[in-house]
A and B are shown apart, each in its own frame.
Chain A
Amino acid sequence: MKTLTFFALALLVACTQAPAQTATPLSGLSAVPGAAQAGAARSGGAWAVGTLATTGTCEMDVAADYTALISHRHRAARLLSQGRMTVDQAVTVQAQADSARADLDAACPNAAATLDATKRARARATLKRIAAILE
């Protein structure tokens, strides 16, 4: 919470002193997971920097991938219930989702771990294959 509070205060100061200069850092906050959770705002000659995640953690790097995984499973269940997907397809989605989950868990086993980018890339490739089945 300290980092969030600091970030909010930094933005508030920047907005009151130089509102036009804060547009770019703010727009980058939700555009890219991981790297873009950090934002910088310049006011006059001073720099203020805030971040949504503690430096060095990996969970924000995989959070969007987890939500995609969850969304894919929900969507597959809905399509199957509506008769718009076969049981075989749903079983395939479930198996591939399990594989993606294992890779995501390994990519970031805890908040203090360093991201394993290779495992995350493998999870993302699997998530793409699932998305193709759901289309």
Chain B
Amino acid sequence: MTPEQARAIAKLLSDAADRADAAGEPEVSILPDLAALDDAARAELDAAIKAAADR
């Protein structure tokens, strides 16, 4: 794991913990956040591919 990855995971955990505290949830999961971030990265690459293909 790189320092960048460790920081990203730590932030996800912290954000998820804040949400769990606010909602009164006893458990924290970061899988939905990881999936959402990858969905966004996929859309970004898809847009870059379309833009490059149009050039």
Q: Do A and B come from one complex?
A: yes
**Interface set, chain A 64-80, CB cutoff 8 A to B:** 64, 66-71, 73-74, 76-77, 80
**Interface set, chain A 31-56, CB cutoff 8 A to B:** 31-33, 52, 54
What does DSSP make chain B's interface, helix, strand, loop or mixed? helix
A63 to B8 alpha-carbon distance, docked (Å): 10
Q: Does A111 reach chain B (CB closer than 8 Å)?
A: yes
- Known A63-B30, A73-B41, A74-B44: A91·B49 in contact at CB below 8 Å: yes
A4 to B21 alpha-carbon distance, docked (Å): 13
Q: Does A59 reach chain B (CB closer than 8 Å)?
A: yes
Chain A contact residues (Cβ within 8 angstroms of B): what range? 35 or more
Are B42 and A66 interface neighbours, CB within 8 A?
no
A30 to B34 alpha-carbon distance, docked (Å): 18
Which chain B residue lies CB-closest to A30? B6
Residues of chain B contacted by A64 (CB below 8 angstroms): 1, 5, 9
Are B46 and A94 interface neighbours, CB within 8 A?
yes
- Known A68-B5, A94-B42: A59·B49 in contact at CB below 8 Å: no
Minimum distance in angstroms from B28 CB to a CB of chain A? 7
Q: Does B15 reach chain A (CB closer than 8 Å)?
A: no
Are A71 and B17 interface neighbours, CB within 8 A?
no
Which chain B residue lies CB-closest to A113? B31
Chain B residues packing against A (C-beta within 8 Å): 1, 4-6, 8-9, 12-13, 17, 20-21, 26-31, 34-35, 37-38, 41-42, 44-49, 51-53
**Can you identify 25 A-B contacts, CB atoms within 8 angstroms?**
A1-B17, A1-B21, A30-B1, A31-B1, A64-B1, A67-B5, A69-B41, A70-B37, A70-B38, A71-B4, A71-B5, A74-B45, A76-B48, A77-B44, A77-B47, A80-B45, A80-B52, A90-B45, A91-B49, A94-B42, A101-B42, A108-B31, A110-B29, A110-B31, A111-B31
